[in-house]
Structure formats: structure tokens, C-alpha cells
Structure 1
Amino acid sequence: MEEGFSDETFYGVVRDLVKTMYDVSVNADNKPTIRALAVSVFRGSLNTLETVMEERKAAVKQFADEALSVWIPFFIEVLESRLPPPPPEDEENQDGGASEIFRGLVVLKIQVVKVLMRMRSVFPSTLSPHSPALFSATWNELSALQEPYHLMYIEEERQSRLEDADHLPYTLDFLVLEELDFMQACLRASPVRKELEQQLSGHASAEGTWVTQVMKVAVAYAQITTEEEGVWNLDVNIFLSEETGVTANYTPRTACGDLVIKLGEWLEDYTVDGLLSYSRSLYSTGHSWKAKEAALYILNQLLGDLADMQRCIKPEAAEGFIEFIRYAMQQNDEFLRARGHLVAGSLIKASDGNLQAVAAQFMEASLRAITTDESEVVKVSCIRALQPYLPAAPANITMPLQPTIIAALAAFLSTQDVSDMAESDDLMVTLVNTLKSAILLNTQICIAPDEDTAMGPNGEPHAGAQGALNLLFTLASHGANNFQLTMLVNETFEDVARSIAASGYDAYVRLCEKVLPGLSGAFDVGALTDESALTSLAADLLSTLAEYGSEPLPQGFVAASMPKLNRLLLGSSDGQLLRAATVAAQNIIAHDHKQLFEWQDPETHKGGLEVMLVIIDRLLSPSVEDAAAANVGGLAAEVVEKAGRERLGPYLEQLLRAVAVRVGSATQAAFIQSLIFVFVRLSIVSPHEVVEFLAQVEMQGGESGLAVVMRKWLENSVNFAGYDEIRQNVIALSKLYDLQDPRLAQIQVKGDLIVPQSDRIMTRSRTLQNPDQYTVVSAQLKIMKVLVDELLSAAGGGPQGMAARSGLAAAQQMAAEEAAEEDEDDDDEWEDDLDTLDLGLGVTKRDLMSYDQPNSAFGRAPDDETQAYLVNFFREQSAKPGFGEMFAALSQTEQDKLRSMS
């Protein structure tokens, strides 16, 4: 708030504004749209009040209580008022008359619900006492709107999701959506819960209770609209995106699913019983197929949530739903039939093995439908339904069906135009996900002859069937630009390669025989069509194949793969492709350097070692960006280790000098780590030689290579990722420290962050004006500081994580105290989900943003081996002369850490 703008002035303005908006809103002589606009402005004032509430909490709370005590009766009155009948379809967009009145009242009701949702967020304790009346009014409204909603959207195809010139939504579907969300919110209000729980007392089941009535409302609004039916028939990919929940299209159907999920998390048994009871009434009468499908859709949402929470449906309830699923699978209506297959898979997964007798029947029915059903929607639903079946059903059911499943997927793919499918992301991902689940039942199927899998659903030969990996690579080749799909393909192939390699050398050889020709072809196709994504995927798969390879690799592995990699690494400028190809080359030399060094490039006639040196030289040159060359350090380190000083000769110093020079200009953390690890791995073996060599290298500006490399090394160690890499870094630094080389003591590096003595919030502009300041310490002392921090990190919590956790605890304590001050009566609290984080807390944001950091509380688990090494190191150091002086130079916090950990 600006200086000179007093509290009295501000609250005077707000009071006048709120009173004016109230007068406009309640005046029945005004058009409903004008009244709705006034309500919308009032909602905006709540945002302003929330902004100033931190500094003037008591005053804002008092004002809100006064204002809302006047507004809430008006809101209840609007909710309790009934809409007139909707206008005929050909008149609904006319100005004036009944059409305009209907639209205006819908707009007004929507804005009222939006205000209530905002109040619930900003002033929950003020709204909570009114929650039973609001819940009752919303419930009655939703009950009354079922018939017009059904007419307009389930039978007819009225326009939906429309807004007026003031950006106020005015169609009935928006009102239903808002009220379903508000009803769900009301279920978390303590007064509402108490009243509803009281109504359930004395009822052993949900039959005849309000829970069953909720199911009736949910099923009514969860029915497939005419618009959805038409769109899903035209594009099965849209159907799948809605089914998998990856769409941003939030509809009354999805809101009903969320409503029942929340109810199930509160009253699980009553919710399941209520849905079962209402389903019996639906399926025993002449209700439409849409209502029956909606009931199964709600069940599917409920089962999915139970699975997510690792809970199971009661056996008797599961048995009760089976007859409805069987009925649905046999109907002519394709969406009902598709829903039956989808729910069958979810039910088996959520039944905890209690439905083994029907699991095989349901799976076989889905497999038949993939190849025989006329409906595309049913086919893809059955493909998706296999995903929950395969991990949930017992092995004696799934294993015999593995070849049949893969053959069915291949048969489906053979009926599609794969080039067109590449644009159907959800369908492609569904196919790969299902194929992954099938392959992982037994990865040995990937090295079986293709004819072993070429059988149809009924055991007959199927001419179009392909091998499992052939099918996987076919999908991958047409979806290489889809990030999610390529991740799934990589994950699947990694599991296959790891499993088959673990089963023996012969099995791994057969895998290479199957895979290498296809990967070689993918490199060629990618080069011809300029498809860098396909080439990158092939390089990733080749890298994985080599990573889990035998030692030595099968004969011919290098000859089959290196020409392609060499061409890419010397000619490509694509960063992703260069990174993938570099790792592939690194894995090859790590597993079989002898075969690589004996290989000769058929085009240039250079030996394998020379080829590698040329590749490294190119990647270290300034012409290649840091991000593209991010993995060159690992490749260079492998070449140095495997070739040795004698074989490298004068090339060793040239290579190390080039690495040191590139360290000086590197800025990206991953690239710096990659380069530094050339010296890390050498320091573990010969720390003195590393120091001697770097001290002799003269860098730009006259500094020694030792100063430049050690500065980058020590200032970036905190960002190093990977357990093995961190452990090697710790060992290398301890070896360097043990040298007690005076040249290290003379190098000055960044020490600790200097925290400014100010409680001002650091905005971006202030941060730019006042950049972080650090102390300056010797490299020798910095090594000690890094090792102390790594000692704590190895115990399972890095310094950042510890700070975050302590800060989070303090923030939570503060929040608890503020909540207690705001409302001492817990009965009036509006309960939130227990697992919901307050993203407004800075420490929470920091926790989430540091999730993938190696030294964060979340990203680093205990490392006993590194911890034991460091404990032993510090014990040895404490017995050496001069350690007391070094210990005294540490900060008090670091000294405390060292005492507590070692």
C-alpha cells in the first residue's frame, strides 16, 4: 500500500465498493447479466483483500465477516431460485425474451458459485458455518437441473462452454460444472460432514441413504454428451486422451468422477455400496445405454483411485459388479461395450486376486475384441484394458497368453496406417504401454524366433504377426518425435537388455543379432530423411544395448555400430543426437576396448583408438556447444583409462590439455561434471601426476591449468549427480587433500555464501543489483568443506535438504499458530485434503524445485559406502599434524556436522 494511503482510507474505499456491488447485485430490476457482473467485481475485491491480509489480518478478517454476513444470504437465495425452462434450440441465442433471461440467470448463478469457491479459499472459517445451507442449496439445484441438462446435452447437441462479451460463461454446462466442484468442496467442510455422518448412523449400508442419491446425480451428469459421442467416433485419439486424463478438457463428466473419488476417500464402503445399489436399479430397468455406461465410468474412476492408494475393493462388492460388466461387453452400443472392457481390467486390478476365476475370461474376451470387434473405440479400449490385467492377474493366466497378446497388438497395427497414427499420440502411447506390459511378463520372448509369436487370439497362425521387438521398434520409428513414447520405448528396451544380459552370454548374443540390424537401418533411415529424433532414439537404444552388454561384446558388435556412430559424432550438430551417440561410444569402449582398438574404419582406414581421439577432439572444440558435448568427459575418461599412457603416447597430454582448456570456458553444470571427471578418475589412481600436469598447463590469461580446473571442480562439486560419480569425486578429492601440496593451498576459490543482514524480500531486480557474495578460501580448505558436506549428504540429507526441512518445519509451526489464532473452534474449520501442500510456502517451493537435485533432501538417499569412506578419512586426518588448524578454519556449522557424523 502506498505511503499516505491509510487503513481508514483503504477500508473506506473497499466498503463503498462492496456496498455498491451488493446494491447492484440484489436489485431485481437490473438485468441478471448486470447483477452477475457486479458479483464478479465483488469476487475480484476478495483477491485484493487476500493480498493485504498478511499485514492487516485482524482488520481484513473483521471486514470480511461483516461483508459476507450480508452477501451470503443473497448467495443462498440465488442458489435456491429455480431456472425457467430452457429455450428451444433454435431460439437459445436470441436477444431479449425468455432466452436472454435464461442466459442471464445462468450467468448470475455461475458467478455466485465462483464467489463461494473463492471465499472458501480466502475466508474458510467465515464460510464454514454456512456450509450446510450452501450444500443443501447446491444439491437441490443439481437435482433440479438434471432434466434440462439431459435434454440440452445428452439428447440434443446444444452449444457448450460459451462466454459473453464480458468473458462471463453463460451456458448450462458451465453452471453444472461449477456446482459439482462446489459440492465436492462442501463435502470437506466439517459442519457438512458431521451432519451427513449423522444421517448415515444406523444404516448398515448405503442403500436408501443420501450416498445413493449422490450416485444418482453423478451418473446423470457423467453421461456421454452428444457432442462427445460424435467427436470420439471421428477420432479415437480424443477418446483416449479423455480416458487417460491427459486432456485439459474438464467437463461435468470428469467432475462427477472427481466428486465420487473424494466421497470414496472419505466413506469408502458406503460409496462403493451406494454405486452398486444404484447400478442394480439402472441395469434392472429400461434406462438408456448412456446411463449404464456412466455408472461404469464412475466405477472405473473409483477403482482407479483405490489402486492409486493401494487399496482394494471388497470381494462381495467386486462380485456384484461382474454381471453389469458382462452385460456391457455384449451390447450393441460401442461406448457401453468399450466401457465394459475398461472396467473389467480395473476391477481385476483392484480386487487383490479375489477374481482369478473371471480374470482369464475377461482377458480372453478383450483379446478377441481387439481383432474381431468392428468398433475402433472398442479395440483401443481393449488394448488399454490389458494394462491393468497383466500385472494384476496371476502368472498362470497371463504367461500362456503373452504370445497371443503380442500377436493381437501386431494384428491391430497391421490394420492401421502407421504414418497417420504418428499424429495420434495417445493411441501410440497406449499401444507401447500395453506392449511393454506384455513383454515384461517374460523378456525371453524378445529373442525367440518371430514365428513363435505369430499366432492369433485363438491359436491359429497369423501371417501379419511380428516379433515383440520388431513391433516395439515399428511403433518407435513412427513416434520418435513423441517424447513420452520414446521414453517408454527406452524404458522397455532397458528392462529387456538388463534381463536378457543377466541370463547369460548366449542370450545376449541372440539379442544383439535381433537388434543390431534394425538399429543400423534406423540410423540409415534417419540420415536419409533427416529425422534427427529417430536417429537419436536409435543411438539411445544402441547405448542401452552396450551398457548392459557382456565383456567382451559379441564379435562384430563394433563393426556393426561404430561406422554409424562415427559419422554422427563427426558430422552432426544436433545436441540431443550428439549426447546419445557419445554415451553409446563410451559404453562400447567400457565393455570391449580391445575389439574397438582392433577395429578399423572402412572409410578412413583409421584404427579405433584414433577414431575415438578424433571424435573427442571434435567434441572439445569451441564449435560444439556445451549442451551438445555434455558427455564427452565420460568418453575421454574411458579412452584414457582403457588405452593407457603407453598406447596414447603424446596424445595423452594433448587430450588432457584440451579438456583443461574446455573446463575453463564451460558453463553448464552437466558439461563441467563430465569434463572434471577425466581428472577425477585419474586422481584416484595418480593424484600427484594430475597436479603436476595441470600446474604446467598455461591457460588464457596466464593462469595455470591447476588453478582453473580446481576452481571449477570445487565450486561445482555440490551439483555433481549420480551415486557412483559422487563417490568417485569424494575419493579423488581426498587423495588430492592428502598430497598437502602447497600449490593447492595457494589457489583461491569461492567459500561460503555471505548472507545479507536484511529481512527485505529479494525481488528479481534487487537480486540483479545485489548479486550473491562469497568468502574466499584456499582450495585445500574448500576440499575439506566439500567433504564435510558430502559426509552429511551420504547419510541421506544434503545441506540444502536439511535447511529446507528445518525451514519447512518452522513454516508449518507458524502456519499452525496462525490457524489457532484465526479460529480456535476446530469444528468451524473447512477441511482440506491432508496430502495437499501449501504452495505459497517458500520452503515448499524450494523443496519441490530441488526434487531432482542430487544433494537435495528428496534426491539423495543414504550411501553407506561413501559415508564409511569419509568417516575413516576424517578419523585418519584428525590424527595428523595440522588438522586442528584446518578444523578451526571451518565454519561452526561444519564443525558441528563433523563432530556429529564422524
Structure 2
Amino acid sequence: MVKDQYPDAVKEATATVLPVWLDAFKTLLNVDPRSDVENTPNWDGLAVRIQVFKTLDTMQTSFPRALTPYLKDLLSASLNHLSALFPTFTHYYLQSAASVPHSSEDETIELTQLVCPMLDFVANVARSGKAKDWFTGESLTGLISGVFSWVQMTSDDEDEWANNANAFVAQESDDTLSYSVRMAGFDLLAVLVERAPVPAVTTFQSTIHRVVLESEQARNAGSQDWWRALEASLAAIGSQAEDVLDVIDDERESGRAKPIDIESLLTNVIPNFLVLSQFPFLQGRAFVFASQHAKLLPAQLAGQYLDAAVQVLEASEAGIPVKVSAVKAIHNFCQNIDDAVAVPMAPRIAKDIGPFLPVTSEDTLTLVLETLAVVVQIDDGKWITEDLARSIVVAVLDVWMKNNKDPIFISILTDVLESLASSPAPGVYLTVVRQALPTLCNAIMSSSAVDSWVASAAIELVSSLVSGAPETGLGEGFFAMLAPSLFSCLRTTEDRDVIQNGIACLTLLIRKDVNQLISWSDPASSQSGLDGVLAVIAKQLQSEDESGGLVIGDLIIHLLRRAGEAVLPVLPQLLQAMSLIIPFAFLIHNQRDTVLTLLEGTNVGGRSGLDILIQTWCENAETFQGFWPTRISALALSSLFASERPSLQQLVVKGDIVVKPETKNVIMTRSKTKQTPTEFTSVSFPVKALKLLVHELQSGGEAASMGFNDADVAELDSDDGDEEWTEEEKLHQGFKADEFAFLSDVLGPRGMAFDNDEALEENDDEDLKNDPVSTMDMQAHLLGFLKECAARNTGNFSAVVEQLNPEEIVVVRKAVSGQ
């Protein structure tokens, strides 16, 4: 807690105090832990061990260096605890042969309270890369074998999971909030597989082989608990299925023997458990394990497994654990096997899953919905019929009505509706729209400010229908049905989520079928679709909410791209409503003279609209993010330069940063930056435009120096007196790591490389990726532009070039000469 504020005192304590405590911990842990649980009226002795392991786990995080000399002894003590205490765990927890004794203070001290922090400590050590040579040989074998044993279902787990489907589903969820020995064990296995893939997976093989043999012997001897170790071992391996499959592939590609024979388990062992209805947890685990490794199954066997899981789903006598496991297995199979195998059973599965939707909730409902979402994607939904689509939509809307505040459910439901809408099967899209759209429009219209989340979710679901619509359009009447409720909602609401979802929906509508928007008019007010969009834009740009202008950027760009000549009648209103640079850049690229004339004639507070736009543009051009925006800016700037308009020639804008002698070769601290405001040169717009275009040509995907040369960014030493950078700040250009990470997020995935023409941003939509602006050769365009300007002396090009800095002049001359 205090090591940042009092580093010297903490260093002294770690050097003098910690070793004394660590020696005491080692001595205490070397005492046989069985003395605390056997032949004793209470387990009070475990309380100290619990706190020791919690403390060690904290120290491994905060003071790893002080702990390093003790690690091997402490790891060996941990392994010894797993082994020595397991018989007690079996007696009290697996067999429930006796009740856990109360402490002297009449509280219960559980073994799990000790084992969880102990496994966490071992996992943290393994994750750190320390004591590598301990995690080998017998130690690794003993550790993995111990974890496989300790993650067995207790009798309490069995009772709860047999009757509580949500608890059963949640205990294996990746984001489960309930912490347990099973979760801690799986986390440790994940670290071991990551750190030592082949040795760990090889140990999985030897351990599961031993468990299979021992379980068979126990079963033959009449034990009713013979299945527990098998279920736990399959769950343990299955928890690492993805990594195990990667290790198998890597070894196979390298010409080495596979470290574990999953195929043998799937062929010779697992099928025997699929029919053991009297042992439902093992039966269910067998289905899930097979589905987790479905990629290794031949098509015929995969089909047999899937069919068996569907039969369990349909069996009236099957209990909760098996039914839930079957749903999970179907989810995995449909994700991991070829569509050709799954298609014949897809309609049957969809019909079987339907009845689960109205009778499940929470985690179980999430699993059922996720499974349905995967099923309707099989073979792009070509097998879906109108009747099936109708029944699924009814079920989906029913789930939404009951859970319209849950963002997880809404996210999955939008996926289901989009998949249904995108089915190419005859009549399915129209069936889905007719079934869903009236209900959703009614929800949007009738939702008040009190339940705005209903409108927000309904709009999201409508967007999923639009996303799934065919390329031929939304179908007659879609926008006419939606527009009144959507425009009314956006006109009256102040809820940010509703606004953002509504604008995103409008943007999708424009991209999918802009003609419906253009041709529609409100029967009540005669307002056109374009008028409605303009009203939305104007409202958001006038909003005090700073995000108002941000969420409409895509809407404006796609409206301008898609509407074409239809936008000309409303162009004056659009320009008056707009304050975003990139949409203006697009307009100038396509309608330069019309737009410039309108801007020149617009007066805002004594300044022309053109002056406001150009000043803002020049100040922000080097910070535009995204592939398409940076390109459209460059194209528009070249068009403006070539226009030779007097109004542009006369504009004076900010030029380069003025680098003063006292700041040269130094990155200043934040405090000194405040004391020394940044200054810029002043240049004419044509000069600045040419600078930006040269910058675009120069960058070629590399980060720009934003006005500094490499030499100006050479050192990180501060001349700020007492306020010097820490080591952390030197690594991150004067910021703390979290501050720098935040700035990096704001600036985009490439940090300062805003003008990278090499790769599209991940979030650029398909329309923009296929746009001519994205596919053109920007470098060739800029080179051709410079050559033509030089040949024609466009805008007194030669004089403008002379006002560039020496480096920029060299670039222009090389470009013009073809070097």
C-alpha cells in the first residue's frame, strides 16, 4: 500500500523484515498439514496456513524479488499439501462421510479456503516465469495429477447442480463470479500449458490414461463414486481444449509424435459413457468433451455424436445436467464441424431448442440463445423454412420482452435476428420482417423516457434486420413502417443510448436502401426522409453533449455517398447543420465549386463559413484517424489547391510548430509545457495544403513527427529542476503508463501513425473498404498531382514550394522530377 510513497522504507523492510517472515512461513508449511485435520477436534491450524498462502500470493505480485530464493521450497510445500490433504478432501467432501468440524470460535474452516489461494500462488509463480526448472519432471506430473484430483465434483456440487441449471452452467463459464477449487485448478492448468506446452499436455495423457484404468477398477469393485475422477479429468483437459489442439497441431507439423491421443479417447473411451443415464454428470461431460475436440472427429463419427446429443435433448426422462450438457455440446459441435454434417439435423435442433427459450433464465438462457445463434448460422441458414423462421422470431421477441434490460441477451438476440434475416431461403427474410418489425416499431413509438431502454433495444433489433437484409434492398414498405416511430423517437429523446442506436440504424438504412429514405414522406407532416435525417443531424450538432457531433459522422458520410444528386436540393441546409470536417471533405471532393460558393456566402459571427472550415481543417488534418478519412482529406485538399479560388489564396492558417532553442533536442515535462505555450508559424492556405499533401506522400504508412524532426525528439532528460521524469515516464514520453495507454487508445491502434495507407482500420465498414477512395493508388495520385501543378504552375506553384521547409522542398522536387 505504501511502497510508492515511501520507497526507501519499503526497500529496507523487504531486505530486513521479509526474510524473517519468509523463513517462518517455510518452517510452518513444512510441518505436516495432516496434523491440522486428523485426530483433532477442529481445523483451527488451517487458518494460519490459509493466511500464509494469501500473503505469499500477494508478495509474489508486489515483492517477487524478495520471494525468489524461497520459491522452490514453497512450491514443494504446496505440492505436498495437495497430496497430504487429498484423503481428507475425499472423506469430507467427495464421499460426505462426515461433516466438516467447526472451529474453536464455532465457524467453519473449509479445505477449499486453503487450496484456492495455494493454487493461485502456484499459478502466479508459473506465470511469472520464475523457478522454471521446478515445473518439470516429477514436480509437474505431481502438480497436474493433484489438480485433476482436486477439481472433482463434491457431493454438495452434485446436489446443487442436479437441481439448479443456472448454477451448473455458471460454474464452467469463463466469466463466472463464483470462485472455486475447480476454477483455480483450471486457471493453473492454463498457465502450465502456456509455459510448458508439450510437457504439460504429455502429462495430461499419462494422467487421463491412469484415471481411466483406476476408474474402471473402482467400478468393477462396486464403487458408486467411480465416475467422479473421470468427469474431473475430462473437464480439466476440456478446459484447455483450444490450447491442447494447438499443441497437437504444432507437434504434428514439426514431424513429432502427438503428446496426447484425443482421437483414441473419442473413439474407444467416450462413447461408452454416452448412455450412462444413471451417471448424468459423466454422461453430460462425455458429450461436452467430444464437442470441445470435434475438429479431430471424422465426419461420420461427428454426425453420430451430434445425433446422440440431440436425442438426449429430446428425451423426456433426461435430467438437468444432461440436458444442459447436450445443449452445450450441440453449441460446440455446430461451431466446429463441417456444415455438411450439421445441415441434415439443423431444422430438428432448432425446433428442439425452441421450447427451452420460455422456460430458462439467466446463465441457462444465455447458453440456449448462444446455441440457437450458432444453429441458425449453419450453411448460412439455407435450410430455414418460413414456418420455422416465424416460430423462432416469436420466441425471440418473447425473450426480449421479458429481458429488455439485459445487454447480453439483446446482443445475442440481434445476432439471431440478423442470421434469420440474412437467410437466402425463399420467403424467409420477408417472413422475419413481417413478424418482427411491427412489434419493434410499436415498442419504439410507445416507449417513454422512463423506459427508454426498451426503445434503445428495439432499435438495435431493427438494425439487425437491416444488417441481414439482402443486397437488393429492405423490401417494400420497410422504411415507411419504421420511419414515423424512429424519427419521432429521435426528435423527442435525450437518452444517449437511444440516440446513438437510432443514428446507427439510420446509417444502416441509408447504406442498404437509400432510395426508400429518399422517396418516403410523412403522410401527417409531408416531411421527407431527407428532411428527417437533416433534423436529426441538426439536433445532435446543437446538443450540449460533446458526443453529439461524433455519432453522426458515419451517417453524414454514407448519406452523401449514397444519396448522390438527391442531396443537392437540401445541400444548403446540410451545410448549415454540419460542423464535421470529413463530411465536408467528401462534399468538396464531389461538389467542390457548389460547396465553396455556399461556404463563402455563409457568415458565422463575422467570419465566413469557408474561413471556419479551413482553419479547423488545417489544425486537425494530422490527427484524423482511419484509412478512408485520411484519404478523403488528402483528395479534397488537392482539389482545393487546384481550384485557385481567391478566397482560399488569401486565407492565413497555422503552419509548423516553432521549435525554440531551449526546447530543441528535449521533450519537455508537462509542467514546462504549460509554462511555454506552443507557437506556430503563419502561412497561406495553399502553403499549408501543400505541406499536408507532402506529409501524406512522405509518410507512406509511417508515423509523422507532427512538426518535430528526429533530432528534436532525441532525448528524454528534463531541465525542469526538481520535477524530473520517472523511469516510467521516460519510457512513455513524459506520461505514466496508464496515461500513455489512454492516449494511445484515443489516437488509434497505430498510436501516432494516423496516415497509414498500408492497412484498413478494423472498424472501417465494408462500404468504405470497397469505396473508390479506399482502392485507389494514393501515392500515384499525389505524384501525378504534384507533376501537373508544376507543369501548369497551378496557384503559382513554384512560389508556394519555395515557402516550404528544406526537407519538404526536396520531396516535392524529387516527386516532380520522377525520382
What is the distance in 1 between the residues matched to 2:102 and 2:679? 55
Secondary structure in 1 aligned to 2:378? coil
Task: Tell me the residue number matched to 1:582.
Answer: 503
Task: Tell me the residue number matched to 1:486.
Answer: 410
What is the distance in 2 between the residues matched to 1:389 and 1:318? 16
Single out whichever of 236-245 and 601-610 deviates more from structure 2.
601-610
Task: Tell me the residue number matched to 1:276.
Answer: 208
Equivalent residues of 2:534, 2:577 under 8 A apart:
no
Q: Deviations over 1:460-512 (max 9, x none)?
A: xxxxxx65555555544544433233334444555665x65xx6xxx687513
* Cα drift, residue 261 of structure 1: 2.7
Question: Does structure 1 residue 141 correspond to structure 2 residue 59?
Answer: no
Q: Which amino acid aligns with 1:580?
A: N
Task: Tell me the residue number matched to 1:366.
Answer: 309
Question: Does structure 1 residue 407 correspond to structure 2 residue 351?
Answer: yes
Task: Tell me the residue number matched to 1:305.
Answer: 243
Q: Normalising by the residue count of structure 1, what TM-score does the alignment of the two structures yield?
A: 0.70
Single out whichever of 578-587 and 741-750 deviates more from structure 2.
741-750
Equivalent residues of 2:100, 2:108 under 8 A apart:
no
What is the distance in 2 between the residues matched to 1:109 and 1:899? 76
- Closer, same or farther: CA 697–529 of 1 in aligned 2, 3 Å: closer
* Cα drift, residue 553 of structure 1: 5.0
* Cα drift, residue 683 of structure 1: 0.2
What is the distance in 2 between the residues matched to 1:183 and 1:496? 47
- Closer, same or farther: CA 646–851 of 1 in aligned 2, 3 Å: closer
- Closer, same or farther: CA 898–71 of 1 in aligned 2, 3 Å: farther
Q: Normalising by the residue count of structure 2, what TM-score does the alignment of the two structures yield?
A: 0.77
Question: Does structure 1 residue 746 correspond to structure 2 residue 746?
Answer: no
How does 1:452-531 map onto structure 2 within 5 Å?
Answer: 467-491=391-415, 493-494=417-418, 500=423, 510-528=428-446, 530=448, 531=451
Task: Tell me the residue number matched to 2:254.
Answer: none
Question: Does structure 1 residue 704 correspond to structure 2 residue 608?
Answer: yes
Equivalent residues of 1:110, 1:174 under 8 A apart:
yes
Question: Does structure 1 residue 325 correspond to structure 2 residue 270?
Answer: yes
Q: Deviations over 1:850-871 (max 9, x none)?
A: 3575462599772495783245
What is the distance in 1 between the residues matched to 2:228 and 2:805? 70
- Closer, same or farther: CA 191–621 of 1 in aligned 2, 3 Å: closer
Secondary structure in 2 aligned to 1:442? helix
Equivalent residues of 2:420, 2:432 under 8 A apart:
no
Task: Tell me the residue number matched to 1:655.
Answer: 574
Q: Which amino acid aligns with 1:862?
A: E
How does 1:435-446 map onto structure 2 within 5 Å?
Answer: 435-445=372-382
Task: Tell me the residue number matched to 1:386.
Answer: 330
- Closer, same or farther: CA 309–703 of 1 in aligned 2, 3 Å: farther
Secondary structure in 2 aligned to 1:627? helix
Question: Does structure 1 residue 214 correspond to structure 2 residue 138?
Answer: no
* Cα drift, residue 246 of structure 1: 0.7
What is the distance in 1 between the residues matched to 2:810 and 2:5? 41
What is the distance in 2 between the residues matched to 1:681 and 1:884? 28
Q: Select which of 817, 841, 850 maps to 2:744.
A: 850
* Cα drift, residue 243 of structure 1: 1.1
- Closer, same or farther: CA 722–576 of 1 in aligned 2, 3 Å: farther
What is the distance in 2 between the residues matched to 1:490 and 1:889? 56
Question: Does structure 1 residue 132 correspond to structure 2 residue 132?
Answer: no
Single out whichever of 244-253 and 768-777 deviates more from structure 2.
768-777
Equivalent residues of 1:586, 1:635 under 8 A apart:
yes
Equivalent residues of 1:215, 1:274 under 8 A apart:
no
Equivalent residues of 2:653, 2:688 under 8 A apart:
no
What is the distance in 2 between the residues matched to 1:371 and 1:553? 37
* Cα drift, residue 340 of structure 1: 2.5
Equivalent residues of 2:280, 2:321 under 8 A apart:
yes
Structure 1 spans left out of the alignment, 5+ residues:
1-43, 90-96, 201-208, 454-465, 664-674, 811-836
* Cα drift, residue 178 of structure 1: 2.0
Task: Tell me the residue number matched to 1:77.
Answer: 27
Equivalent residues of 1:300, 1:346 under 8 A apart:
yes
> Aligned Cα RMSD in Å?
4.8
Q: Deviations over 1:555-594 (max 9, x none)?
A: 3333233233233233333332233333433444455555
Q: Select which of 169, 172, 183 maps to 1:254.
A: 183
Single out whichever of 333-342 and 383-392 deviates more from structure 2.
333-342
Q: Deviations over 1:515-553 (max 9, x none)?
A: 244122112134445453343344334445446554565
How does 1:594-743 map onto structure 2 within 5 Å?
Answer: 594-622=515-543, 625-628=545-548, 630-632=550-552, 634-635=554-555, 649=569, 651-659=570-578, 663=579, 675-700=580-605, 702-718=606-622, 720-741=624-645, 743=647
Task: Tell me the residue number matched to 1:343.
Answer: 289
Q: Which amino acid aligns with 1:525?
A: A
What is the distance in 1 between the residues matched to 2:161 and 2:811? 61
What is the distance in 1 between the residues matched to 2:812 and 2:207? 59
Secondary structure in 2 aligned to 1:748? strand
Equivalent residues of 2:443, 2:458 under 8 A apart:
no
Q: Deviations over 1:381-432 (max 9, x none)?
A: 2222222212322333212111112111113225x16xxx3xx1x3333223
* Cα drift, residue 141 of structure 1: 1.9
Corresponding pairs, count: 750
Single out whichever of 106-115 and 274-283 deviates more from structure 2.
106-115
Task: Tell me the residue number matched to 2:767.
Answer: none
Q: Which amino acid aligns with 2:387?
A: D
- Closer, same or farther: CA 694–81 of 1 in aligned 2, 3 Å: same
Single out whichever of 543-552 and 293-302 deviates more from structure 2.
543-552
Q: Which amino acid aligns with 1:73?
A: D
Equivalent residues of 2:202, 2:259 under 8 A apart:
no
Equivalent residues of 2:381, 2:419 under 8 A apart:
no
Equivalent residues of 2:79, 2:142 under 8 A apart:
no
What is the distance in 2 between the residues matched to 1:571 and 1:133? 68
Question: Does structure 1 residue 294 correspond to structure 2 residue 232?
Answer: yes
Equivalent residues of 1:796, 1:863 under 8 A apart:
no
Equivalent residues of 1:450, 1:467 under 8 A apart:
yes
Question: Does structure 1 residue 869 correspond to structure 2 residue 778?
Answer: yes
* Cα drift, residue 717 of structure 1: 4.3
What is the distance in 1 between the residues matched to 2:101 and 2:293? 33
What is the distance in 1 between the residues matched to 2:277 and 2:614? 72
* Cα drift, residue 611 of structure 1: 4.5
- Closer, same or farther: CA 277–610 of 1 in aligned 2, 3 Å: closer
What is the distance in 2 between the residues matched to 1:176 and 1:233? 25
- Closer, same or farther: CA 791–271 of 1 in aligned 2, 3 Å: farther
What is the distance in 2 between the residues matched to 1:732 and 1:471? 50
Secondary structure in 1 aligned to 2:680? strand
Equivalent residues of 2:165, 2:320 under 8 A apart:
yes
Task: Tell me the residue number matched to 1:540.
Answer: 460
* Cα drift, residue 791 of structure 1: 5.0
Single out whichever of 740-749 and 187-196 deviates more from structure 2.
187-196
Equivalent residues of 2:280, 2:322 under 8 A apart:
yes
Equivalent residues of 1:791, 1:867 under 8 A apart:
no
What is the distance in 2 between the residues matched to 1:151 and 1:895? 84
Structure 2 spans left out of the alignment, 5+ residues:
251-257, 717-730, 761-773
